[in-house]
Amino acid sequence: MKTLLHIDASAQQISDIAIPEDSENIPRHSSISKAIATSFIRCWRQQKPQDKVIHGDVGINPPGFINQAWIAAVFTPDDKRSEAQRTLVALSDTLIEEVDQADVIVMSSSMYNYGMPAALKSWFDQIIRINKTFTFDLTRGDYPLEPKMSGKTLVLITSAGEFGFAVGGIREKMNHLGPHIQTLSHYLGVEEFHEINVEFQEFGDQRHQNSIREALAQSTTLAVQLTSNL
Ligand SMILES: Cc1cc2nc3c(=O)[nH]c(=O)nc-3n(C[C@H](O)[C@H](O)[C@H](O)COP(=O)(O)O)c2cc1C
């Protein structure tokens, strides 16, 4: 049995978006990235009903921003933390435990200001933590950080209003969403990274419909492929 951690990040939830007819089974969310991720999870469950899915929606329930007291607490050894410090890092502990359990992380994200939503960045800030998810050792030279977890797969599903963010696209250099998440995912123990992108949302034209249709097809193919490999 495998465990999936499904993290949604869009601030939107209720739907009146035009999803093509072939996606009639997708719940009517207004978030496109959440709709595609939901389709991926549904397809996974059809293939592997016994697998466990942990779901978190940081767009609707954003984790708090880290602050000075939080940083002081995580740099205090476990057995020396005060009660107040233990309370401060409790959410971080829970979120890390969820990542630790996961074989596959399915992450859906909107593009906001060419990057990830602040709530998703906050989730990463809570999780990428010294001595919990990475170790730091200056004897390693120029790359002192090493992840403690390994062997995970990340499926990133994004939606953007504009287009051309892929490698070779007209806005490749403006894309701080996928590349940023791929860089961070190393510290979650991710060794296999897949990305599915919807674009053109702000144009609302045929290109957008095609992009949604293509993303749905890719998500089905990927779910079938990963369930047969894992
Ligand atoms: C606050 C905000 C910022 C956005 N910034 C960008 C952007 O920088 N580039 C872009 O292509 N689209 C941008 N968009 C459009 C969203 O990426 C697009 O609506 C996407 O479908 C949102 O994801 P969702 O449908 O899963 O909620 C922005 C939308 C909002 C609400």
Note the pLDDT tens digit of each residue in 168-203: 999 999 999 999 999 999 999 999 999 999 999 999
Could you tell me whether strands 145-147 and 134-136 are parallel, antiparallel, or unpaired per DSSP bridges? antiparallel
Domain covering 3-229 assigned CATH 3.40.50.360 in the classification: yes
Residue nearest to atom 1 of ligand 1 (CA): 112
**Residue 225 Cα, ligand 1 centroid: separation in angstroms?**
29
193 Cβ closer than 6 Å to some ligand 1 atom: no
Long-range contacts of residues 162-171, Cβ cutoff 8 Å, at least 24 apart:
162/199, 162/200, 162/202, 163/199, 163/200, 163/203, 163/207, 163/211, 164/199, 165/111, 165/197, 165/199, 166/197
Percent of the residues in the chain that have a pLDDT greater than 90, as a whole number: 91
Kindly report the average pLDDT of the chain as a whole number.
94
Reported as a pLDDT band with limits 50, 70 and 90, residue 15 is: low
pTM, entire model: 0.94
**Residue 66 Cα, ligand 1 centroid: separation in angstroms?**
24
Neighbours of 19 (CB within 10 A): 21
The pLDDT value given to residue 25: 45
More confident residue, 29 or 160: 160
**Residue 72 Cα, ligand 1 centroid: separation in angstroms?**
34
Question: What are the pLDDT digits (tens) for 42-98?
Answer: 999 999 999 999 999 999 999 999 999 999 999 999 999 999 999 999 999 999 999
Residue 14, pLDDT above cutoff 80: no
DSSP state of 23: G
Residues 125, 114: Cα–Cα separation, whole Å: 19
158 Cβ closer than 6 Å to some ligand 1 atom: no
Residues 223, 74: Cα–Cα separation, whole Å: 36
Per-domain boundaries in the chain: 3-229
Give one DSSP letter per residue of 45-108, joined into a string: HHH-TTSEEEEEETTTSPPPPP-HHHHHHHTS-GGG--HHHHHHTHHHHHHHHHHHH-SEEEEE
